[in-house]
Amino acid sequence: MIIKNVGVIGCGLMGSGIVQVAAQAGFSVLFVEANDELVRRGLGRLRETLEGLVAKGKLDATAKDAALARIAGTPRLEDLKACDLVVEAMTENQPLKNETFAKLDRIAPPHAILATNTSSCNVTAMAAATRRPGQVLGLHFFNPVPLMKLVEVARTILTDEGVVTTATEWVRALGKTPIQTKDSTAFVVNRLLVPYLLDAVRLYESGLASLEDIDTAMKLGCGYPMGPFTLLDLVGLDTTTYVAEVMFEEFREPRYAPPPLLKRMVMAGHLGRKAGRGFYTYTK
């Protein structure tokens, strides 16, 4: 099967990154946002990002124009009727995702592959909400999408082998490196990363060291590109808490339980970089 037209549902942090890399790799991309205003903002952000790359000399103006010409946005899910592949990248909400997959199944052409960028929701439940469970799988990108090379290809017990192959080839066509995993809460990366981030919060809560020193310790002591608190702020404290809660619910292991400080920071609206404040404060 040849993928030409790609749909992306959601043009937030992850969705816009997926739109960008797909358009730069030569695919026609149509993204869906909740309303006209969010479509306008999504298009504006993509233009700004690509223009920024041209200004830095990382992309030539012709390639930028060609990528932008391949991107369109719509507030209507029904407009995804000509897509060969749709990647859902909405917020982490299982009932909403199941409902969206059921709708999408009635809209997308019969051959289309339906993928989810979820990091913690149940892919099998989304597949079961459609009449094409063999064509549903997880394609989990990492934040920031244009820079992170990995995509986890997550198959359910219902996914057809040919669909896994096509989706894996598409990931390679984006210039990313795929790894294969099963549909199990949090897949590979978050299974290891989330307990580490939660432990960092517990360490800080215990008063062992300052935020800055814990970050410096992991950067310089382990060669990690970012310390855990800088990374928590990048991923979003709300997203991390949600993923941790789903993992705790699934595995019932204390190491996945979000620590009290993390929950309270989310309640306080200190969600990380996107909110201007998380463990650190950000000015534009």
Q: Which are the catalytic amino acids?
A: 119, 140, 152, 190
Alpha carbons 55 and 209: distance in angstroms, whole number: 40
Check binding of 53 to ligand CAA (CB under 6 A).
Answer: yes
Query: Residue 198's closest CA among 176, 220, 153, 231?
Result: 231
Q: Which is nearer to ligand CAA, 226 or 267 (CB)?
A: 226
Q: Which is nearer to ligand CAA, 20 or 159 (CB)?
A: 20
Check binding of 239 to ligand CAA (CB under 6 A).
Answer: yes
Alpha carbons 145 and 125: distance in angstroms, whole number: 25
Environment class of residue 27 by beta-carbon count within 10 Å: exposed (0-12), middle (13-18) or buried (19+)? buried
Least spacing, CB of residue 198 vs ligand CAA, in Å: 13
Segment interacting with ligand CAA (CB under 6 A) among 52-60, 71-79, 93-101, 163-171: 52-60
Alpha carbons 253 and 282: distance in angstroms, whole number: 34
Check binding of 208 to ligand CAA (CB under 6 A).
Answer: no
Least spacing, CB of residue 58 vs ligand CAA, in Å: 6
Check binding of 124 to ligand CAA (CB under 6 A).
Answer: no
DSSP state, residue 120: S
What token pair was written down for 53? 């790359």
Q: Which residues bind ligand CAA (CB under 6 A)?
A: 20, 49, 53, 56, 58, 119, 142-144, 146-148, 190, 193, 225-226, 231, 235, 239
